Structure 1
């Protein structure tokens, strides 16, 4: 009997994801390679391990017992690499999803720092709305997502990487009273928001409902850059990251709109599966904590000024 780690890995992810294709996406290989490894594993053990059902792959009785052992084997491999092998060696290609605000601020620094510290580690960034990124994470199209939120379910590890004050803002030309607005008063003014799919809206939704915020007229856009322009033009109130928009406030293009109560800080987290079985994702989360900075860079400031 010759059982390989690749066979056990293919079996574990094919069963837990209930699909050869999903496992192939997770392991960056092909569906046929997944099926071949499972067949080889069944031949080596002399038992059937999975049932091909209309709703996906289901483990047999023998497969259920092997699933626990396969999980232990992958954990053991990571422990061996950490305690006996080259502990500092982090390698491979990983797809990471980030929101537009991260892409505009500290994504470049994250890639630069990872490349400096771990030359064998390659990252492929994907920029999208937060909820779209989480959908991609569930579908194994990306390996890690950095987005607003503090808990994404027991199947995921969530590591806080940073916080930003996300405050109501508007153009000084928008006629607003010079006092804190009550939640119900927001219904008297247009509100500008990022489109459906924004994890920020999901994050603040319960808080807004708890305190009675009501928006009668809402304009949506999927671009933070467009949202900035519309807010500066005085078309409505937006909730924006203070660190990033501080230069616009200093130039008199925007002002903070006070409310009772004020919004709590927006928490950004690195999210990835508990069963990733790789130190690389922990490394990406840790470096993200180090470089997280939502202030606008000098190139952005020059572009905004022009």
Structure 2
């Protein structure tokens, strides 16, 4: 019976992750251990819960029925764990976080040692990825999201503004000229980020109101630090968040262009699944981020970093 109960969260993770290997990564165990737990669960129940092939995984009819109860059982157990840790007051346990690659590396990762020193009972498992992940299916406690948030059941706490600028290196502008408006910008090599959820168009609030611009150039990439390197090297013009290029602007390595054409204002958020009891480890981390990064003028937007 104990083995059967222990296998329930493993079964739920396999179904939500749609693979044994992804479930193993989420749970922090080996793929073979996941497979063994599922086999033991099916043997103890006397039914097959999953149809397995080399390329796919699907629930049997019995598996679909069992999954409803198993998922509810895990949710209730999680609520109980949240309630107990809340009563204890001291943040503890494993905190699973999803953060954007570049923002995470530049501004979250340097803070982790300080947070863990302040809360030694907490362990952090941080995934850095620019792809949007499902917090519930991925088993994450918290994510950092940048930009306008889609309507969802997630709770969002605004951490800081996310300002962007149109910029280029002095070497590029010396070679190709400095655009003053959108007509002149069409003649320039525009670089762009290929994972941008708003699409490839650039949006501006210009002298005549909101306008859209379709950038054209010889380089697009799914990593903002790669774009920054190309900008510094003088390859072209790009719109970039100041949390990446703020220091480059301050030091003159990059120059802000077309100030009359403002880019949309976005924000940086901490988002987490709605829970009856918010775990102390989550609230502590969010409060820590607000203390370190919060405010209408974050440190990367100041010249005296």
TM-score by length of 2: 0.71
Q: 1:156 to 1:50 in 2, by over 3 A?
A: farther
Whether contact under 8 Å (1:167, 1:241) holds in the other structure is yes
- Does the alignment pair 1:208 with 2:208? no
Given the alignment, which residue of 165, 168, 178 partners 1:167?
165
Whether contact under 8 Å (1:170, 1:237) holds in the other structure is yes
Partner of 2:237: 237
Q: Which SS does the other structure have where 1:176 is aligned?
A: coil
Q: Which SS does the other structure have where 1:216 is aligned?
A: coil
> 1:174-214: CA deviations, max 9, x gaps?
2325x5x23x43212222445x3xx4x33463553983313
Deviation for aligned residue 1:75 = 1.6
- Does the alignment pair 1:256 with 2:260? no
Partner of 1:190: 189
Whether contact under 8 Å (1:105, 1:297) holds in the other structure is no
In the alignment, the residues of structure 1 paired with residue 202 and residue 100 of structure 2 have an alpha-carbon distance, to the nearest angstrom, of: 23
Deviation for aligned residue 1:8 = 0.6
In the alignment, the residues of structure 2 paired with residue 81 and residue 136 of structure 1 have an alpha-carbon distance, to the nearest angstrom, of: 22
TM-score by length of 1: 0.71
Partner of 2:45: 45
Aligned-residue Cα RMSD (Å) equals 4.3
In the alignment, the residues of structure 1 paired with residue 202 and residue 227 of structure 2 have an alpha-carbon distance, to the nearest angstrom, of: 22
Q: Which moves more between the two structures, 26-35 or 238-247?
A: 238-247
Q: How many residues align?
A: 288
In the alignment, the residues of structure 1 paired with residue 72 and residue 140 of structure 2 have an alpha-carbon distance, to the nearest angstrom, of: 24
> 1:16-71: CA deviations, max 9, x gaps?
33322221121111222112222222333333322335653322333222212212
> 1:236-285: CA deviations, max 9, x gaps?
3222333554454444444322356411123334567889x994567655
Whether contact under 8 Å (1:149, 1:203) holds in the other structure is no
Q: Note the residue ranges of structure 2 that are not aligned, 5 or more in a row.
A: 205-209
> 1:146-178: CA deviations, max 9, x gaps?
35344479697766543221011234562325x
Q: Note the residue ranges of structure 1 that are not aligned, 5 or more in a row.
A: 302-306
